[in-house]
Structure 1
Amino acid sequence: MNYYNYLFALEAKFQLISSFVEVDERNYQTFSTEISLIFLASCSEFEVVAKELCEIFEPGFKNGHPKANISDIADVILRHCPTIIDHVVDIQFFDKHYLPLQGWRRDNSPNWWSDYNSLKHNRSENYHLAHLENLLKALSALSIVNHYYIWKKFCPNNQIHSASLHLSRLPTYFRIRDVQYDGLRYNDDFDI
C-alpha cells in the first residue's frame, strides 16, 4: 500500500481549503464540513499508518491487538522511536511550524487526537472541533508517521535525518524539518 499517495490526496484537499480559508492564526478556530471531512480522514489515516509502523517494530502487533487504540500505538512507537515526538513539521508557503506529537505518551494523547475522538463519537456536540488548527496538526502528524513508516520499511539501518527517501513525488505542504527529501527520481527498489 502506498500511504504517501493518501497523504498527497489529503494535501490536495488542504490546498483547496487554503484557497478559501487563509492559513492564519486568526482563522485557526474556523470549522466547516470540508475541514471536518479532511480532519477525520487525516486522523483515521494517522491511526492506520501508525499501526503499520507498530507492525514493523513488533511483527504480529495488528493480530495481537485487533482493537489497538492510540495508547497501545504510543506504547510501541515511543518505545522504538522516542524522538518521534520532537519532530517539527514545516508547512510550506505558510510559514507555519508544528510539533504535532509533542507530549504524546501512552497516557497523554495530543490535543488534536482528543478532539478527533470527541468529534468522532459526538459530532453534533463537537462539530466545532473540526477546525483549521486541528487539521494542520493532524496532517503534520500524518506526515511524520508516513515518513517513519517508509524510513523503517525501506531504510531501517539509516538514521532518520540521513535517510534520503527517493520519492516519485514530494509532499507539497507538510515536510519534516531536517529530513532530506530526494524527490522526483525513480528508484528501482521502491517507488513511493
Structure 2
Amino acid sequence: MANNKKLKFFIKNYWNYYLRLEEEFLTALKYVEFDRDNYQTFSIEFLTVLLSVCSEIDVVGKVIANDFNKNFIPEKKDNTIYKWWYEIQNFLLLSDKVVNFRDIETIKPWYNFQIEQATNKKGNKYLRLEKSSNSKIPKWWNNYNSIKHNRTSLDVTKEKTNFKNANLKNLSQAFAGLYILEKSFIEKIATKEELKLIKKSSLFEKEAVTTRRVESECFTISEEEVI
C-alpha cells in the first residue's frame, strides 16, 4: 500500500472516516435492536449520523467522479447527485450491488438508480433519470434531503414530520450506500494483497449478489420468506 499513493490517500481521508461513522452507529445499536419491527424508530442520534453519512456520500461521490473524469470539478456548487452519479455509474455499476447487514438483512441501496443525458427542445443537454428502466432516485436519499432542508415540516402524505425520517431503516440504507460507494472504488484501485491490509467494515460482508431474490425497495428478501 505504501507505493499506492491514491489508495493511501483515499484510506486516510475517506475510508477511515467511514469506519468512524460505523462506530457511532454501532454505539446507537446498543440501545435499538436492528430488527424490522424497529425500522421506524427515530432519534436525535440517528439524525446526526444520517446527516453525516449522506453528506459524506456526496463528498466521496464527487471525489470519485473527478478521478474518472478530470473535467468534473468537485467544488462546483451545481454538482448534484445526478451529475457525479452519471460520471461513475458505468465504472462501478453500483445499482447492481448488494450487501449483507451483519448477516441479518440484505440491502441493495442504489437499486434501479441510473442517470442518462437528454436534449431539450432548445437543443440543450441535461441529465435525468433513465426512462427506459423507469429509474428512481433512492427513497432513503430523498428522505435525507427532506430532513436536511425541512426537518420539522409536515409530510402530509404520512401525517408526520420529516424528522421521523431519521429512522433505523433510512440510516442502515444510507450506510449501505456509502459502504458500496467507497468499497467499490477501493477495489478498483487496490491490488488483492493491498485489500487484505485494509481494515474491514463491522457492518457489512463482502458484496455478494445472490440469486432468486425478491426486490422490496432497497431491501431484498429471499423467496422462501415471502408469504
TM-score, normalising length: structure 1: 0.81
Equivalent residue letter for 1:171: S
What is the CA-CA distance between 1:164 and the residue it aligns to?
Answer: 6.6
Equivalent residue letter for 1:91: F
Equivalent residue letter for 2:111: Q
What is the CA-CA distance between 1:59 and the residue it aligns to?
Answer: 1.2
Query: What is the alpha-carbon root mean square deviation over aligned residues?
Result: 2.1
The 3-state SS of whatever aligns with 1:10 is helix
Asked if 1:151 is matched to 2:181, the reply is no
Structure 2: any 5+ residue segments left out of the alignment? 1-8, 116-128, 130-135, 154-161, 210-227
Q: Which residue does the alignment assign to 2:15? A: 4
Equivalent residue letter for 1:59: K
Kindly report which structure 2 residues correspond to 1:113-124, keeping only aligned pairs within 5 A, or say none. 113-124=141-152
The 3-state SS of whatever aligns with 1:90 is strand
Kindly report which structure 2 residues correspond to 1:41-190, keeping only aligned pairs within 5 A, or say none. 41-62=52-73, 65-81=76-92, 83-92=93-102, 95-106=104-115, 107=129, 108-125=136-153, 126-155=162-191, 165-178=195-208
Report if aligned partners of 1:70, 1:109 keep a CA contact under 8 Å in 2.
no
What is the CA-CA distance between 1:74 and the residue it aligns to?
Answer: 1.9
Q: How many residues align?
A: 171
Structure with bigger strand share is: 2
The 3-state SS of whatever aligns with 1:62 is coil
Q: Distance in 2 between matches of 1:168 and 1:63?
A: 26
Q: Percent identity?
A: 32
User: Highest CA radius of gyration, 1 or 2?
Assistant: 2
In the superposition, relative to structure 1, how do residues 101 and 163 fare at CA in structure 2: closer, same or farther (>3 Å)? farther
Q: Distance in 1 between matches of 2:30 and 2:185?
A: 30
The 3-state SS of whatever aligns with 2:205 is strand
Equivalent residue letter for 2:101: I
CA offsets 1:71-124 (integer angstroms, 9 cap, x no match): 11221122333x3111111112x5111000001123231011011111100011
Structure with bigger helix share is: 1
TM-score, normalising length: structure 2: 0.69
Asked if 1:19 is matched to 2:30, the reply is yes
| Structure 1 runs (4+) greater than 6 angstroms displaced | none
Q: Which residue does the alignment assign to 1:183? A: none
